Structure 1
């Protein structure tokens, strides 16, 4: 499950999620949620644990890849062929 989907099913705000995962701000959390920023392994573990495994490392990786493909397509030249 994507982090955004988890947040919405839990009816939590960005600020509440930032606090839950020990992040400094809602904007920082939002960057992880959209994939704009890659989450380090320790944060991914916190997210997996605090979401009871509903958001996995694979989910976080897929979110990051999705963001990169849209915002940094030059990183995927073979996709343009």
Structure 2
């Protein structure tokens, strides 16, 4: 149509050189670019919270049943990486 500019759609997830996702993150292509999400078992330690999946660290969370005296139903765990 006259007066309109069309751009070719680019799948940034198809080429690791076109996105900044961590190697332990999944890349999801969308209409306006892409988004990253750390894989299961990895913590998101990205320095900018609005850009998740840029830095992912292996989770080392260990829970010993014998030391747990609480019921773990309907709870949300917040994983904080140790230095």
Name the TM-score, length of structure 2 as normaliser. 0.24
CA radius of gyration, larger in: 2
More strand by share: 2
Name the TM-score, length of structure 1 as normaliser. 0.24
* Larger relative contact order, structure 1 or 2 (CA cutoff 8 Å, min sep 6): 1
More helix by share: 1
